[in-house]
A and B are shown apart, each in its own frame.
Chain A
């Protein structure tokens, strides 16, 4: 049986930061990711990040992915297993990894689970037609492989992802007919909205998709207005001649491994769905299993990096590793995370976390 001290599942912003932090403490780390390059969703983020210097504010996501990966590549303490999918968690704490059509096993002393999120779907007629794509898929196709998803796109959702991907579509030379948003206001940052509005993209708040049209692929979409009760208002239909409908209607934690591991889960809508109960160190109800990033609750990538750092530091310390700057580094990560979540845009996440920690205290996951 192959062993390692800490297995980090997922090499996105949270996983990479967990691996770096644990390595810095002297722990032996195996970082497993199903993709063919480290960085997770960072590799398609062409925009400059918000936050502060500690979270690489002002740098583009694509460059942050490279900076983080360079810190662990060729490090003797870190093994990076790419194109490797964790497909099972066993009762003895071993995990099964599928790689090159073969199954291998690894028994880590600690696991930091940072598997990220999957995209939500939206119900409307013909939502299964080719041309209805998730926002992440559009980004992958366009920003990683250089293929435009279509000629004209209707974006559904005006959270940060919908706004950012709309901007990226314009940069790639794709027309964005409109952004529709069911809520009466834009959910993402005002500055992201302004970038696409001044490029001529209308944002239709209190609107949703009525139907997508087409026989074999998307040929158009009809949207309609929503009243105060979120019921559609007949007679307000607008038609858009688009070949692509991009869904950016939210993310939900990709928690399969946590369910398998028997971690206590809670449904917290503010955090995107089912999330693991965990303590301040991000350790779940199953001892030795930690969470970080979108899996621990949907937030921005900047927060994911800090959560990864905290989980990585804590996991390494629990194995007896220590460094002189441990306390200082952990405190800094906690403070930076609190600052990121501190504004009005972090209100929802704070509410979700309050609830999560309260539930955790009730069942004794949090001391």
Chain B
């Protein structure tokens, strides 16, 4: 999909899932089903995943295993999703989170 994807590797073989579409802040992007959302975003060239609550500094992923909370985003309306471990599914709506997130906006 982009040159960030490793297609051939001397040691590893990558079994990619089904190709799916999702949106990031309204932009349509491709990724593979079941890979972490952050991996799909990174492969699509998206490295800035959010902003720090106070100084609004850009935030990317850091640990990639769900420990550090640097990659929190809003996914299908749900805030504070760790996109480094959350698996990508067809049609997901991924948006940049501002602030600490709102749980019951529509109630």
Question: A residues within 8 Å of B by Cβ?
Answer: 34-36, 46, 60, 62, 118-119, 128-134, 136-138, 140-143, 145-149, 171-173, 216-217, 254
Q: Does A140 lie within 8 Å of B64, measured CB to CB?
A: yes
Considering the chains assembled together, what is the distance between the CA atoms of A142 and B43 in angstroms? 10
Q: Does B5 lie within 8 Å of A147, measured CB to CB?
A: yes
Q: Does B35 lie within 8 Å of A145, measured CB to CB?
A: yes
Within the complex, the shortest CB–CB distance from B45 to chain A, in Å, comes to: 10
Considering the chains assembled together, what is the distance between the CA atoms of A132 and B64 in angstroms? 12
Interface flag for B14 (CB, 8 Å): yes
Considering the chains assembled together, what is the distance between the CA atoms of A138 and B38 in angstroms? 12
Sorting the interface of chain B by its residue count into under 10, 10 to 19, 20 to 34 or 35 or more gives 35 or more
Please provide the chain B residues from 10 to 51 with a CB less than 8 Å away from any CB of chain A in the complex. Answer: 10-12, 14, 16, 35-36, 38-39, 42-43, 47-49
Q: What B residues does A145 contact at CB under 8 A?
A: 14, 35-36, 39
Question: B residues within 8 Å of A by Cβ?
Answer: 3-6, 9-12, 14, 16, 35-36, 38-39, 42-43, 47-49, 52, 57-68, 84-85, 87
Q: Write the chain B residue with the least CB distance to A254.
A: B67
Q: What B residues does A136 contact at CB under 8 A?
A: 63-65
Q: What A residues does B60 contact at CB under 8 A?
A: 129-133, 217
Known: A129-B60, A130-B48. A147 touches B42 (CB 8 A): yes
Q: Does A130 lie within 8 Å of B5, measured CB to CB?
A: no
A–B pairs, 7, beta carbons within 8 Å: A36-B85, A129-B58, A130-B49, A136-B65, A138-B64, A146-B5, A148-B4
Considering the chains assembled together, what is the distance between the CA atoms of A140 and B14 in angstroms? 13
Within the complex, the shortest CB–CB distance from B101 to chain A, in Å, comes to: 15
Q: Does A143 lie within 8 Å of B65, measured CB to CB?
A: no
Known: A147-B4, A171-B10. A35 touches B64 (CB 8 A): no
Q: What B residues does A171 contact at CB under 8 A?
A: 9-11
Q: Write the chain B residue with the least CB distance to A121.
A: B62
* One of B12, B14, B59 near A130 (C-beta < 8 A): B59
- A118-B68, A129-B58, A217-B58 given; name 9 further pairs at CB < 8 Å: A36-B85, A118-B67, A129-B60, A130-B47, A131-B60, A132-B60, A133-B64, A134-B63, A173-B6
Within the complex, the shortest CB–CB distance from A122 to chain B, in Å, comes to: 12
Q: What B residues does A141 contact at CB under 8 A?
A: 38-39, 42, 64
Q: What B residues does A254 contact at CB under 8 A?
A: 67
Q: What A residues does B16 contact at CB under 8 A?
A: 146
Q: Does A34 lie within 8 Å of B64, measured CB to CB?
A: no
Known: A133-B60, A146-B16, A216-B58. A128 touches B65 (CB 8 A): no
Q: Does B58 lie within 8 Å of A130, measured CB to CB?
A: yes
Within the complex, the shortest CB–CB distance from A153 to chain B, in Å, comes to: 13
Known: A141-B42, A146-B5, A148-B6. A35 touches B47 (CB 8 A): no
Q: Write the chain B residue with the least CB distance to A138.
A: B64
* One of A46, A132, A142 near B62 (C-beta < 8 A): A132
* One of B3, B9, B11, B63 near A60 (C-beta < 8 A): B11
Considering the chains assembled together, what is the distance between the CA atoms of A146 and B57 in angstroms? 28
Within the complex, the shortest CB–CB distance from B73 to chain A, in Å, comes to: 13
Within the complex, the shortest CB–CB distance from A161 to chain B, in Å, comes to: 14
* Closest CB pairs A-B (n = 9): A130-B60, A137-B64, A146-B14, A145-B39, A140-B64, A130-B47, A46-B11, A146-B6, A147-B43
Considering the chains assembled together, what is the distance between the CA atoms of A60 and B67 in angstroms? 26
Within the complex, the shortest CB–CB distance from B8 to chain A, in Å, comes to: 9
Q: Does A134 lie within 8 Å of B64, measured CB to CB?
A: yes
Q: What B residues does A172 contact at CB under 8 A?
A: 6, 9
Within the complex, the shortest CB–CB distance from B59 to chain A, in Å, comes to: 7
Q: Does A137 lie within 8 Å of B65, measured CB to CB?
A: yes
Considering the chains assembled together, what is the distance between the CA atoms of A136 and B63 in angstroms? 7
Considering the chains assembled together, what is the distance between the CA atoms of A234 and B93 in angstroms? 48
